Amino acid sequence: MTWKPCFSARSRCATFGVFIAFTYACSQELPDALGRENAANLSARVEDCTEHGLLASAPFSCTAMKSAFFFAGSWQNGIKYYEYSPVDNRHYYTVHPADSRHLNWSERRSYQDFALDELVSAGFNVIDMSTWGPRGSDNWAPYAPMQTSTYAQDELFDAALKRDILIIPVIEDVAATPNSPQVRFPEDFGRNDHLRKAIDDLVNRYIVSPANPKWPSKWAQIYDSKLQPRYAVLLMHVCSKAIAASDPDADSTFASWIHQLAEDVKGDTGVDVGFTLDATPADGASANTYYLVPKRAGAILKDTREVLAIRPFLSEILHMDGPDEDRFWAKHDEAKAWIATGIPYILDITAGYNATIFGEPYVYGNDDIWRNDQGAIRGLGQSGLSFTAWNGYTESWAGMPTQESGRDGTPGDTWNRWLKAMLSGDARRCNYVHFVNGQPSHRVYGEICEKWVAYSGTRGVLGSPRASEADSHSDGSRISEFQYGIILWNLEHGAHEVHGLIADKYRQLGLDGGDLGMPTADQESSSTCEGGAISRFERGTIDWCPGWTEAQGHPNNDAGVPPTGPDGGP
């Protein structure tokens, strides 16, 4: 059989993201080794957790997820390690790890330990484990990029036991073979039991009747909207051909079916389940295919207890034909729209894409511009981060150092360096590191970072950072300099931006150390000249009108005055 990539950008509709969870009481028994004081502190932390969508499993309870999509097993090199003989798909790889141990997972336990140590070192706390059907199915052998047998998945759970990292199983979009049925969310959801059976198999294998009694502790739990922990399973690219997009009750129908799927799994296994949904619209979705739209579905899904978060996979996928800037805005706008609904949103990040070996013309990213664009989205209010993908070599998805350089000539270890920067700190917070020639240069964080991201980061009116955040002139003030402007912060006024000619004039007047003091608001449109702008400060204003070669400062004028140009006119 000719090998065909399941992760082709042309066939994305079916894989869907679901988080499944067991209802574990917050007062769960704690190991004696913690001691009474530590146990009390941890229990208090669980009880104080008030955020839907955060991890609920030790040692990461009440922290944000940082996950990597991962294929267990060796590469598909034609050598049989598990129950079926794989195809040889090495010629499809568009990127290769610098250390071959990443390719040879199945040869030695030490290689499995090495791979997980690398993931932990990068900053991940969750592995999104790709699965390709229940025990005994052979779908993975002709289609998966790695030898993702269920026995390779067992090895992943074993290797995770010694490390601070959790696992979320992923129900892939799996094509049928002569021996095994397909598992496709669009066709299966609401129509047959293939999806349900795939979830049941995972729950039984790793929670209900595990070969190793410690395995359940490694399956990640997530807090639902009632702050109850649930085991998590990721299902990707949610859409349904059983629901008409034009149906006015489509969103309610979808939510009720999600609820019923969770109830069915509980009835089969005794385990409560919930879901995170990859809401990325499928390529080629038609009027007869239902998919999730933030403004329409957000409120209903937020109130559906079984939905734990929106967790996209390659959210820019529908903009493969345009320039990188279009893909940036697609990813940015999708994230912003979902976050505005109030439902937890796990921001997907990727170093780039290259699947030309499959006959696809799509190549993007893997350069400083794309990496910096990705970083400039973190800070919109996401509940966590997910990386696509650690070892998806057939489409140039890699998190470890690679043999290949980026499109801009930056070395292969740049990807790993950038990834570690992206994963630093709390995944919910704004924390940006700017890369130049593959090297980290300037950092923007905290409220200044949030203000910069609100103004569209590298693609906005302020442009890229020119220096890292630093102390400014007045007591307790902080400043970040950008290509086209400034953001200053202090405790009294918060963070505010000034840009363009007004920023130039503010620098001439000594910034916050001069007569004007700190900005008290963001730059806004002028009320005295069409197309003009004004910035307000503690002790005055700066105005600019079209046609002026420089802005005009007005110290000691809190309210502002009609602007006067260099010759006294407007």
pLDDT tens across 166-196, in order? 999 999 888 899 989 888 888 888 877 888 9
Reported as type and span, the H/E element at residue 43 is helix 35-47
**Where is average pLDDT lowest: 131-145, 313-327, 385-399?**
313-327
| Token pair recorded at residue 397 | 């998805």
Summarised one tens digit per residue, pLDDT across range 323-366 is: 889 999 999 999 999 999 999 999 999 989 998 877 778 889 99
User: Using CA of residue 372, residue 373, residue 378, residue 383, what is the dihedral sign?
Assistant: negative
If one compares 319 and 2, the residue with the highest pLDDT of the two is 319
- pLDDT for the residue 279: 87
* Vertex 203 angle, CA 200 and 204, to 5°: 85
pTM score, two decimals?
0.87
Task: Kindly give the residue spans of alpha helices, DSSP state H, lying in 341-470.
Answer: 368-375, 413-423, 446-454
- pLDDT exceeds cutoff 60 at 561: no
Residue with tokens 């790695």: 146
Strand 533-537 and strand 524-525: pairing? antiparallel
Summarised one tens digit per residue, pLDDT across range 140-167 is: 999 999 999 999 999 999 999 999 999 9
Residue with tokens 């499928």: 282
Asked if 171 contacts 211 with a C-beta cutoff of 8 angstroms, the reply is: no
| Token pair recorded at residue 144 | 């998966």
Burial of 347 (0-12, 13-18, 19+ CB in 10 A): buried
* Collapsed DSSP state (helix, strand, coil) of residue 276: strand
Q: How far apart are CA 524 and CA 250, in angstroms?
A: 41
DSSP, res 281: P
Of 351, 399, 398, 392, nearest to 371 by C-alpha is 351
Task: Kindly give the residue spans of alpha helices, DSSP state H, lying in 463-530.
Answer: 500-508
Of 130, 201, 138, nearest to 171 by C-alpha is 130
Cα 84 to Cα 76, 139, 140, 149: the distances in Å are: 11, 10, 9, 8
